[in-house]
């Protein structure tokens, strides 16, 4: 007795022989013809499924190409609760820089000119990590160099006090200070 038959109490109807229980067994040429028909049916259904999945994926796909000497922004992968480029949390920039495309390696990867501050980052990026430059100087965000101590901490110093006020509650006063870091 086969393991499938012992587990489920009936014979296994595999793709090779999809016959109902009690049908007469197929022999020779009939068996080969039925198997080829089933394989063609399976291939047709797979093509239908693949084309449906492709149509779903193509909605989000954009064909972007850059030329040499074009300028692009690089997507910054942010980690939660990490200070990146002077801002922490949801207000941190998603894209940085304004970097020049040096070389087109293939249709989806590009070599980008990075500044010496970012020399430890690999300079080849997938097209999904790049964004077009719209020629607006207000969008350019320069990365700042942070001096790390030996224990990987750094010191933040305030630049200036922007505003100061005292909030009065029933029993106490709270001093509120707006600081530019």
If one compares 18 and 61, the residue with the highest pLDDT of the two is: 61
pTM of the full structure: 0.47
173 is a domain residue: yes
Q: 21: helix, coil or strand?
A: coil
CA-CA distance, 125 to 111, in Å (whole number)? 6
Can you tell me the mean pLDDT for 41-62? 87
19 is a domain residue: yes
Backbone angles phi, psi at 84, to 5 degrees: -125, 130
Give the pLDDT of residue 104: 94
Residues 6+ apart with CB under 8 A from 123: 102, 111, 112, 113, 114
The closest alpha carbon to 16, from 4, 1, 34, belongs to 34
120 is a domain residue: yes
64 is a domain residue: no
| pLDDT score of 168 more than 90 | yes
Give the pLDDT of residue 109: 93
Give the pLDDT of residue 42: 85
Question: Do 87 and 165 share a structural domain?
Answer: yes
Question: Do 113 and 52 share a structural domain?
Answer: no
| pLDDT score of 79 more than 60 | no
Evaluate whether 112 touches 72 at the Cβ level (below 8 Å).
yes
Question: Do 158 and 92 share a structural domain?
Answer: yes
Give the pLDDT of residue 115: 87
Q: Which band of pLDDT confidence, cut at 50, 70 and 90, is reported for residue 64?
A: confident
User: 46: which 2 tokens?
Assistant: 């797979």
Q: Which band of pLDDT confidence, cut at 50, 70 and 90, is reported for residue 14?
A: low
Question: Do 97 and 38 share a structural domain?
Answer: no
Q: Which band of pLDDT confidence, cut at 50, 70 and 90, is reported for residue 103?
A: very high
Can you tell me the mean pLDDT for 158-164? 88
Question: Do 78 and 46 share a structural domain?
Answer: no
Question: Do 54 and 13 share a structural domain?
Answer: yes
Which residues make beta-bridge pairs with 88?
Answer: 83
Question: Do 140 and 110 share a structural domain?
Answer: yes
Instruction: Estimate the share of the chain in helix, then strand, then coil, as percent rounded to the nearest 5.
Output: 25, 25, 50
Structural domain range at position 96: 71-180
Give the pLDDT of residue 35: 79
75 is a domain residue: yes
Can you tell me the mean pLDDT for 24-45? 79
| pLDDT score of 140 more than 70 | no
157 is a domain residue: yes
Question: Do 106 and 54 share a structural domain?
Answer: no
Q: Which band of pLDDT confidence, cut at 50, 70 and 90, is reported for residue 119?
A: confident
Question: Do 167 and 139 share a structural domain?
Answer: yes
CA-CA distance, 75 to 77, in Å (whole number)? 6
The continuous run of DSSP H or E covering 175 comes out as strand 173-180
Question: Do 157 and 106 share a structural domain?
Answer: yes
How many domains in the chain? 2
Question: Do 104 and 49 share a structural domain?
Answer: no
Give the pLDDT of residue 172: 93
Q: 20: helix, coil or strand?
A: coil
The CA distances from residue 171 to 167, 168, 174, 176, 177, in Å, are 11, 8, 10, 16, 20
Question: Do 155 and 97 share a structural domain?
Answer: yes
């Amino acid at each position: 007795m086969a393991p499938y038959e012992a587990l489920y109490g009936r014979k296994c109807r595999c793709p090779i022989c999809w016959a109902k229980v009690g049908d007469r067994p197929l022999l020779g040429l009939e068996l080969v013809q039925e198997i080829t028909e089933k394989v063609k049916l399976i291939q047709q259904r797979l093509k239908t499924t693949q084309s449906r999945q492709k149509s779903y994926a193509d909605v989000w796909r954009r064909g972007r190409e850059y030329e040499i000497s074009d300028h692009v922004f690089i997507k910054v992968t942010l980690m939660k609760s990490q200070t990146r480029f002077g801002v922490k949390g949801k207000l941190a920039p998603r894209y940085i820089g304004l970097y020049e495309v040096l070389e087109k390696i293939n249709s989806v990867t590009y070599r980008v000119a990075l500044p010496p501050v970012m020399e430890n980052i690999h300079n080849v990026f997938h097209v999904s990590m790049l964004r077009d430059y719209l020629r607006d100087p207000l969008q350019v965000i320069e990365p700042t160099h942070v001096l790390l101590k030996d224990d990987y901490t750094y010191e933040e110093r305030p630049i200036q006090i922007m505003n100061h006020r005292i909030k009065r509650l029933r029993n106490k006063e709270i001093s509120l200070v707006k600081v530019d870091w």
